Structures are given as structure tokens and as C-alpha cells.
Amino acid sequence: MGKTFSKPEALSDAHTHYCPGCTHGIAHRLVAEVIDELGIRGRTVGIAPVGCAVMAYNYFTCDFQEAAHGRAPAMATGMKRVRPDLMVFTYQGDGDLASIGMGEIVHAANRGEKFTTIFINNAIYGMTGGQMAPTTMPGQRATTAPMGRDVEQTGMPIRMCELLSSLATPGYIERQTLLKPKYINKAKKAIKRAFEYQEAKKCFSFVELVSTCPTNWGMTPQDSLKWAEETLLPYYPLGEFKSPE
Amino acid sequence: MAKVLMKGNEAIGEAAIRAGCLNYFAYPITPQSEVAEYLVKRMPEVNGVFVQGESEVAVGYMIFGAAACGERVMTTSSSPGVSLMSEAISYIAGARCPAVFVNIMRGGPGLGGILPSQGDYFQATKGGGHGDYHMLVMAPDGVQEAVEMTMQAFPLAEKYRGPVMIMGDGMIGQMMEPVEFPEDLYVAPTNKDDWATNGMDTRKSDTKNIVKSLYLDPKVLNDHNLLLKSQYDRMKKEDVRFENYNTDGDYDALIVSYGTMSRVCKTAIDEMKAQGLEIGMVRPQTLFPFPEQAIHDAASKKGCKVVVSIEMSMGQMVEDVERVVKGKVPVQWYGQCGGEIPTPEEVIEHIKSLLNS
């Protein structure tokens, strides 16, 4: 019997530092599978964020740059403009992308930069230890919102797919999640489409993945999946928001 | 090649292209917007890249991303914009990427004004951004030297694998002078395959390259800082530049001055010479590395009673002058700010009053 399952070539052998139950591992794997399937590893450059995925460069086997907090879309712009033949993706969390990096992502999307952004939305700051993010849900507890997010003071959670799809520039914007196998298959399809649009030099492509953070949510991995499905998915609906076709 | 009459800002843009830099990212700010207005027309003629970023913060990282691919890249800005780029400059220095930044300085702090200033000396030479780093900083005194330094900046950035800054001021950016673009200053780019994230296929390698400034292990970060320091030490040995003016004979006082201010001082020195008063000058052409030995030696010359750092700032370079004169003779500061530039007459009056006191 032949080998039926193996690690993607685009993933390294390094042990990740991610917490048990975290969905980063699945997201990494999906991106790596897509890189393998498209045969683009030798001309792909990833950009790591500041956040839990700051050391993503250790987990992929393609070239990688490490950005400052929120600035990955600007770096991707610089790279893609001077080397349009390279395949470039940024991998960013919600604090990185939707808070400090809001300016960079909106303008890169609006210029129609031909790179791909993988946006991990787990409604909290992970690496710094569970502070409130722009995507934190009303009433959701965080170390900087110990009584739960007070929307009178902090506003409502920002929905990035909806915001980016309001831009008049053509783009590919889709939200998927990693909570269950049926969703994971759709997430992979979205990531592949995003890279294919980039390969065709068609448009900016953006895939949001609603994810979990058991450690900073203070839940077991299983409870996290349940909470995310019940609380996050109604507010962050899945699906394609915009496509260039 | 015949000389052409060009505005400083436009000449800097053309010099970048002549140096083989076909990638320019910028954000508009007075008094340097002419660089972008020139290059938006010129870059398409050479199949180059022009991008107007949404902010100087973003432009700094566009520069980082492009430089990390191993491509020659430049931005130009002015003081408040350079403050915003300073975050990226720190990351670029930490990640060891060659990139060229031009600061056409205006008055500060804050919004300040739009007229010439040298108020960013500390920012450029002492860091600006966070962490232990330096840039090689060159300060032209006119349009021709701005052209030459811009052309030299790219190979220097590659030699040291770090950011290089050209420090002009509003006067140098805005004035027109006859210039030529010396072809022999073009140096072919170095091979960057051993570090650049240019794609493994590009360099026919199976090994990935990572461009980063993150080193969580304190020993590894200390080693990285030592490596950076070794580059700065090498700059001090190999790339200090300065011009001596009227220092062959004896002189009663020594001026240290750079950029536009040094042009005024030269006029003042010539005028004093005609009146029988000998004043010498050392003009730093690199602000970092600072011409320490040259200034120390010139200040130590017999007969030199005082050293004056004359600046379009409230006494910044004077701290370095004091440091290198090491108490041999008194060190003074003289200057004006906000776009006010001391006239030759004011410089003469100040020097005379110092020597009479």
C-alpha cells in the first residue's frame, strides 16, 4: 500500500510553538498544501506578522520576511511591485491587521495589490496575552476588558471582509472558518482561489479564517469550537463577499 | 557629458536612476515633492517602479519589502515624514537590508515650517528609531554633491547591508545648479542571493532565506548587535568623508559646518581672509561616521583659539564637535533655526566677537 497522507513540502519539520487546540496549525497546513498543489514554493515569499504567528518563517519552507506590527501589506506591496513574478502572501492576526495595520491593509486592497492575505480572526490578541482586539465580541472578556467588551466605550467589532468588500476596486474577499472539517475544506478552496487570482495577476485576494484561542478565551479547545460557532459565526458570516468575476 | 541646470530634488531623482535604482516609493511632503513629481514621469521611461504610498509609515515598509528582495530602492521625504519612517528604518537596520533614504530637512519640531533646517542631525546620526543602530549619513553642500552622494549611496548601502541617508535641506532641494551625472559613479549591484528573499528559484537554491529582526535569545541578539556594531566600526575606518577649507596655513578659529550652512561659511571665510583674518573650516560630508580625527587635528593646530559649530539648528552637531575636540580648545555653537539661515555678515560678526572676547 502506498503512502496516502504526508506533510506538505511547504511545511518544515519544526515543532510549532502554538498552544494546544489552536487553529494556526490547520491554517498553516492549508496554505502549505495550496503552495504545493500550485507548485510555487520556489517563487513564494511569505510575510509573518507580529502576533502568535510571528515565527511562521520557521514553519514554512519558502522564503520569508518578518514584518513590524500591522505593516505586512506595505511590505508585500514593495515586494510585489519590484518582483511581480514572485507569489507573496501575508499571514496576519486580528490585532495586527484590524487594529494597528488597518491603514496598510485598506490601502493595499484599494490599490488592488496582487498579493494574498490570510487573516486569522480569533477575536483577541494572542501573543501579548489576551487583550481586547477590534474583533472582540460585545461582552467578551479580555485582560483589557475584564468586565467584557463595553461597546459604549470601544465600539462594535470590526468586520474586515465587509469593510474591504465596500471598496470599489475589484478584489477577492472571502470569510471561512476552521472550526469543523466541513468548513476546513471550504477554507482550503478559498485559499487556493486567492492564490490563483494572484497567479493570474487578477486582483488583491483576502481570506479571513474565523479561528479559536482556547488559552486566552480561558476555555478548553472543545468549548472554544462551540463558543466560536455559537458566538462568532453569527456576527462573522461565512462566504464570498466579493470576487473579480 | 555636458552640464544641465537642474533643481536639487529633480537631480536626486535622476541620480537614483543613473545609479541603477529603478524602484521609488514616496509620500508627498514639502519641500521634497518634486522628487516624486519628477520620478512619476521618469520611472516609466526606464521600466521602473513608482508607488505613492498612503503614508510615510507604509512607504517605509514598502522600502523594506522591496529591499528584502535584494532590489535597489529609494524614498525621499522631509523631517516629519522621516519621523514616521523611523520605525521602518530601525527594522531595516535590524534585518540588514540595503536601502536609501533622502531627508530634505525642514524646520521643526512638530509641523515646524517648510523652510531649510538642519534640525534632524540627532535623529539621523543618533538613531531616530529604536534600538542600537546607525545609518551611514551623507550631507551634500549643493546639487552636484547631492547627485554624487545619491549615486554613491546605493553601493554603500550594499557594502554595509543597511540604510543610508542623504541629509539635504530645503535649500539644496529647491535650488537650481548646473550638474553632471558622472558615469563612473555607477557600481553594479552586488549579488544578494545569500540573504535576499528573492524566491528560491531565482537563486537556484533549496534553502530558504529569512529577512527578520527578531532574535528572542539574548545571546543571539547580543551577537547580532555586535555584528551591526562591526559594520559601524568599519564605516568609521573606511568611509569617513570631509572637506578641509582654508586649513593649510595658520588660523585663529576653526568652523565646523555642513550642507547649505557650509556654503555660507565659505563666503564668510573668504571675506575674512580679504580682511586679513584667517579662519579654517572642516566640512563633514559624512555626519555618521563623523570626521572625528580631522576635526580633532584641525582644532589642535597651533594658533587655533576656538572651534565654532555653525548650524541651522539649536546646537546639535556641536555635541559631536565637543566630543572629538576633547577639550583642546573651547567649543562654541552658533546658529539659527526655522528657515532663518545665518548670513555671511552674521557669521563674520559672530567670529570676530568670539575672537575679541
Interface of chain A toward chain B, CB-CB under 8 angstroms:
41-45, 47-48, 54-55, 57, 60-68, 71, 74-83, 85-86, 103-104, 107, 111
Please tell me the distance from the alpha carbon of residue A208 to that of residue A92, in angstroms, as a whole number. 10
How far is it, in rounded angstroms, from Cα A62 to Cα B203? 13
In A, which residues are within 8 Å of B202 by CB distance?
A: 43
Do you find a cis peptide bond into B344, omega within 30 degrees of 0?
A: no
Is the ipTM reported for this complex over the cut 0.95? yes
pLDDT tens digits for chain B (357 residues)? Answer: 689 999 999 999 999 999 999 999 999 999 999 999 999 999 999 999 999 999 999 999 999 999 999 999 999 999 999 999 999 999 999 999 999 999 999 999 999 999 999 999 999 999 899 999 999 999 999 999 999 999 999 999 999 999 999 999 999 999 999 999 999 999 999 999 999 999 999 999 999 999 999 999 999 999 999 999 999 999 999 999 999 999 999 999 999 999 999 999 999 999 999 999 999 999 999 999 999 999 999 999 999 999 999 999 999 999 999 999 999 999 999 999 999 999 999 999 999 999 998
CA dihedral A127, A132, A133, A134 (to 10 degrees): -170
Across the interface, whether the CB atoms of A65 and B58 are under 8 A apart is answered no
B61–A62 C-beta distance less than 8 A: no
Residues 6+ apart with CB under 8 A from B351: B253, B255, B268, B272, B277, B279, B308
Residue B87 Cα, gap to closest chain A Cα (Å) = 8
Neighbours of B206 (CB within 10 A): 8
Kindly state whether B200 is in contact with chain A, defined as any CB-CB distance less than 8 angstroms. yes
Least Cα distance to B250 among B278, B214, B270 occurs for B278
B245's enclosing H/E stretch is strand B242-245
The residue with cell 564637535 is: B321
Q: What is the pTM assigned to this prediction?
A: 0.97
Contacts of A61 in chain B (CB under 8 A): 208
Show Cβ contacts of residue A70 under 8 Å, excluding neighbours closer than 6 positions. Answer: A49, A50, A92, A96, A97, A99, A100, A101, A102, A103, A104, A105
Task: Please give the residue of chain A at the shortest CA–CA distance from B59.
Answer: A74
B46 and B168 fall within a common domain: yes
Q: Where a domain ends, among B192, B212, B238? A: B238
Q: Find, among A107, A70, A109, A106, the residue nearest to A91 by Cα.
A: A70
The grid coordinates of residue B52 equal: 505613492
Residue B282 and residue B200 share a domain: no
* A55 contacts on B by Cβ (under 8 Å): 214
- Alpha-carbon span A219 to B82, nearest angstrom: 45
What B113-116 contacts at long range (C-beta under 8 Å, 24+ apart), as own/partner pairs, is B113/B338, B113/B339, B114/B30, B114/B31, B114/B78, B114/B170, B114/B339, B115/B31, B115/B170, B115/B338, B115/B339, B116/B31, B116/B169, B116/B170, B116/B171, B116/B172, B116/B260, B116/B312, B116/B339, B116/B341
Domain that holds residue B262: 242-356
Spatial contact of B158 and B190, defined as CB atoms under 8 Å apart: yes
pLDDT at position B127 is: 82
Pick the last residue of a domain from B208, B238, B268.
B238
Whole-number Cα distances in Å, A113 to A78, A150, A203, B22, B313: 10, 35, 7, 19, 41
For residue B63, the chain A residues in CB contact (below 8 A) are 78
Residue spans of chain A under pLDDT 50: none
Exposed / middle / buried, residue A219 (Cβ in 10 Å: 0-12, 13-18, 19+): middle
Q: Are B119 and B125 in contact (CB under 8 A)?
A: no
CATH code: domain of residue B210:
3.40.50.970
CA dist B290 and A43 (Å) reads: 42
Q: In terms of domains, do B282 and B311 share one?
A: yes
Alpha-carbon distance A73 to A118, whole Å? 11
Q: Are residues B176 and B190 part of one domain?
A: yes
* Distance (Å, whole) CA A69 – CA A51: 8
- If asked whether residues B210 and B278 sit together in one domain, one would say no
Strand locations in chain A (E): 44-48, 63-66, 87-93, 116-121, 171-177, 204-210, 239-242
The CATH number of whichever domain residue B253 belongs to comes to 3.40.50.920
Encode pLDDT of A36-66 as tens digits.
999 999 999 999 999 999 999 999 999 999 9
Location of C-alpha cell 522628487: B35
Query: For A24-242, CATH number?
Result: 3.40.50.970
Q: CA Rg, chain A, in Å?
A: 17
Residue B200 DSSP code: T
For B57, phi then psi, to 5°, come to: -60, -50
pLDDT digits (tens, 9 = 90+) for A132-147: 999 999 999 999 999 9
Do B62 and B101 lie in one domain? The reply is yes
Instruction: Give yes or no for B210 touching A (CB within 8 A).
Output: yes
Domain stops at, among B223, B238, B253 = B238
Whether B99 and B131 map to the same domain: the answer is yes
Helices (H), chain B: 8-18, 33-45, 56-68, 79-95, 121-125, 143-160, 170-174, 218-238, 259-274, 292-299, 317-325, 344-356
**A157 preceded by cis ω (within 30°)?**
no
Q: Report the C-alpha gap between B213 and B224 in whole angstroms.
A: 9
| Domain ranges across chain A | 24-242
Structural domain total, chain B: 2
Give the cell for residue A141: 472578556
Contact, A175 vs A158, CB < 8 A? no
Candidate from A75, A86, A107 with C-beta closest to B54: A107
Q: Which of A115, A112, A67 is nearest to A92 (CA)?
A: A67
